[in-house]
Structures are given as structure tokens and as C-alpha cells.
Amino acid sequence: MTEMPYCIGCGVQIQTEQKDEIGYAPPSSLDKEEIICQRCFRLKNYNELQPVSLTDDDFLRILNGLGERKGLIVKIVDIFDFNGSWLPGLHRFVGNNPILLIANKADLLPKSVKEKKLLNWMKQESRKLGLNPIDILAVSAHKGTGVAEAMDAIEQYRDGGDVYVVGCTNVGKSTFINRVIKQATGEGDVITTSHFPGTTLDMIGIPLDDERSLYDTPGIINHHQLAHHLHTEDLKAIMPKKEIKPRVFQLNPEQTLFIGGLARFDFINGKRSSFTVHAANSLNIHRTKLDNADDLYAQHLGGMLAPPSAEYKEDFPELVRHEFRIKEGKTDIVFSGLGWITVQHDDVTIAAHAPKGVEVIVRPSLI
């Protein structure tokens, strides 16, 4: 079998079989000299992420409702799950309303990461996904860092209007709003419930002034979130609780790293070099030979390779392999919702295995 080519856009290895999976390009494109995967093609030409169905009808109605109302949309994303916590289609529903992006869980970033670089990357990525935020801020709702600044920004950008906070589950939307409530109302009893037209939902409103409120919209489950595939106990293990400590591994080609049983990273080709894992400190990283990796996973998933724990491993999606050729050193391979591995050296070929449906993306390193 001849080796499949790589996308000139994102570097993923092309496949022509599964339309909904990463790296897909129509078989006819294989005749071309330069091949671009369908995802990059659509981003480039239509500024649009491949449609992912939103299952929650109420949420769609709310989004529709937002476009008809005037107000500032505050979209909260998880710094560790930028792509998994994206709300596909939001840009089509918000009308002309400005969007303020708030990246939460900044307390988990290792010191080596430049927050500015991260915010820049998020801004670029948002644009690629069709959203043009008016501003982007990093906060820690948990610790309260940046929340006062975020409130000032909200006050400035809402321009006297209402505010709608949107986000998918687990990004920390409730934690953030609770902080805002405390700061805005001094824990007074002023929260109102307001019926959102066209839906069966009551939204919580926090008065901003005599006429305007900040509304919490229900979080939506994004089925691409890694968190969505895990049971609560396993979820605790992958959610970093403290600042992440980068872990460095010197690898030879044909070595593999397992991040618990959640993901796998193969160093296929290139000079011996270092790879830095950024994931929850409590997750075990297991190194093995590439040759052994399939067997090891089959035998030890739920045991040595956990989470998922033995109890839940049957429900865990299979790992899907995405191969990348990395031309430049200092590149991050991001496993949405889990963390990322920084490839330090240039000219290497790697394969990232992530649970089916969970995105793997490549970005310049944030260090």
C-alpha cells in the first residue's frame, strides 16, 4: 500500500474513507499535487466548521432568540478544552451582537505558558471558526483572578444593554456567574428569573442596573467533549486541580506514551528528542515500545492504563489514530479536554490517538 499524503493545511494524514473523521478528503483529490483535507478546505473557503448537529432544541431556540435581541454575548470556554467547549453555529445565531470571549481555568496553566500567546491563538482559532470576538480575556473563576477585569469589560462592551452568558457544560460557567453575583450584589437577594420567549426555559437574570440584566443560559453538552465520555469519578482524575507541571520525556523513534488510557502518542520518525506532556499531574504517563503499544492497550486498559477505570472501560470510545508530520520544532499536539504534548524538535512524524469524536489539533507552542 502506498503511503497516504499529508494535508498542506494542518499536516494531518489524509484518509478517503470516513467522511466525518479528521483528515478526510474525497478520493479524487489524491490525483492532485497538493492535497488539503476537507476540514481545512471548508475553513479556508467558507469560514465554517463542519456542521455538527446541536441536539438540544431549546438551546437552538435560545440562540435564535439571542440574534433577535440586542445585547452583549459572553461566551465562556475552557482553556484546556478550547475546541471541545466550542459552540458550533453560535456565529450564525448571534446576529450583530458583539461577543466577548472569556477563557476560564487560567489557574491551571503552567508558568512556562505565555498567556498572551494562548489568547492570540484562541483569537485566531475563533476567527477560523467564524467568530470574531470583540475581545478575549483569561480568568480563573475558581480563584477569582481576572474576574473584576472581566466585569469591567462586560460593563464597557454591553453599552447599556443586556448580557447573555453562554457556554457548554463544564467550562465553569456557573462558577463564573456565581463570582459575578457575589461581586455585583454582595450576595444580596436580587437574582430574578425571567422567562425566555419561545422556550420552556426560565433564565436567571442578575440585575446590572435598573433596566438591564445579565442572563445565564443553560449549558449545552457538546458531544465532542472528552468529559462527556467519562464517568464522574474518572472525570475527576483528568480535570487538573492545580497548576500543571510539565513532564519531559526523551524519546527515541518508535516509542509510545500513554496518557492514562485516554490517549496515546507515537513518536514514529525523527531524531531522538524531548517531548513535554501538559496534562493533569495525577494522570499516569506510561512509556512503551511502539511495537507493544496495541497489545498493551488491549491488555491493560482500565488497569495500568487508567482512567477509564475497569468499571467503565466498556463505555469508553475506541482510540482513533491521527498521523502528523511536524516540520517545525516547538509545536503543540493538543488533545481537546486533556492537555497537549509539545514536540520540541523539527522534522518528526508522530501519531496522536484520541477517543473517537475528540479533536486533535496542531498549534505553535505557547512557550
Chain positions contacting ligand GDP, by CB under 6 A? 104-105, 107-108, 140-142, 167, 169-175, 219
Q: Give 164 or 265: the residue with its C-beta nearer to ligand GDP.
A: 164
Name the minimum Å distance from CB 69 to ligand GDP.
22
Cell of residue 15, nine digits: 484518509
Name the minimum Å distance from CB 172 to ligand GDP.
3
Q: Give 171 or 341: the residue with its C-beta nearer to ligand GDP.
A: 171
Coil, strand or helix at 13: strand
Cα–Cα dist 128/43, whole Å: 6
287: left (phi over 0), alpha (psi -120 to 50) or beta: beta
Name the minimum Å distance from CB 339 to ligand GDP.
13
Helix (H) or strand (E) holding 155: helix 147-158
Name the minimum Å distance from CB 227 to ligand GDP.
9
Q: Give 12 or 171: the residue with its C-beta nearer to ligand GDP.
A: 171
* DSSP assignment string, 44-93: HHH--PPP-----HHHHHHHHHHHHS-EEEEEEEEGGGTTTT--TTHHHH
Q: Give 158 or 173: the residue with its C-beta nearer to ligand GDP.
A: 173
**Cβ neighbours of residue 169 closer than 8 Å, sequence gap 6 or more:** 219, 220, 221, 222, 225, 227
Name the minimum Å distance from CB 141 to ligand GDP.
4
Q: Give 108 or 293: the residue with its C-beta nearer to ligand GDP.
A: 108
**Cβ neighbours of residue 336 closer than 8 Å, sequence gap 6 or more:** 81, 82, 83, 84, 224, 225, 226, 354, 358, 359, 360, 361
Q: Report the residue closest to ligand GDP, judged by CB.
A: 172
CA 288 to chain centre: 27
Name the minimum Å distance from CB 184 to ligand GDP.
17
Q: Give 141 or 351: the residue with its C-beta nearer to ligand GDP.
A: 141
Cross-strand bridge partners of residue 75: 101, 166
